[in-house]
Amino acid sequence: MFSRVFPIVLLTVFLAPFAEAADPQTAKQLVDTHCYKCHGTEVYTRPDRRVTSLPKLHSQVRRCELALGLKWFDQDIENVADYLDKKFYRFK
């Protein structure tokens, strides 16, 4: 059994980083095109900001995407939240 399972586990571990790789350039383009239409960077940098954790940031990005009717893929939402986290929030 070990000889059959080991190659699958090894392949999964090797390919995992490529499966969900963030695309910061696309995320930046989405933020520049859509997010800054409604607000500037002040919403991310103000002292009393509502988003106080990474899960809340992901939820807020999804709310904005739905409110604007953008129909982003889940990966786009993840990429935008990760981009905003790295640029402004630094939760990670």
Domain boundaries, the chain: 23-89
The C-alpha atoms of residue 9 and residue 18 are separated, in whole angstroms, by: 15
**Residue 28: count of CB within 10 angstroms of its CB:** 15
* pLDDT in single tens digits along all 92 residues of the chain: 545 544 544 344 444 444 455 789 999 999 999 999 999 999 999 999 999 999 999 999 999 999 999 999 999 999 999 999 999 999 97
Concatenating the DSSP letter of every residue in 49-66 gives -S--SHHHHHHHHHHHHH
**CATH among 3.40.50, 2.60.40, 1.10.760, 1.10.3470 for 23-89:** 1.10.760
pTM of the model: 0.75
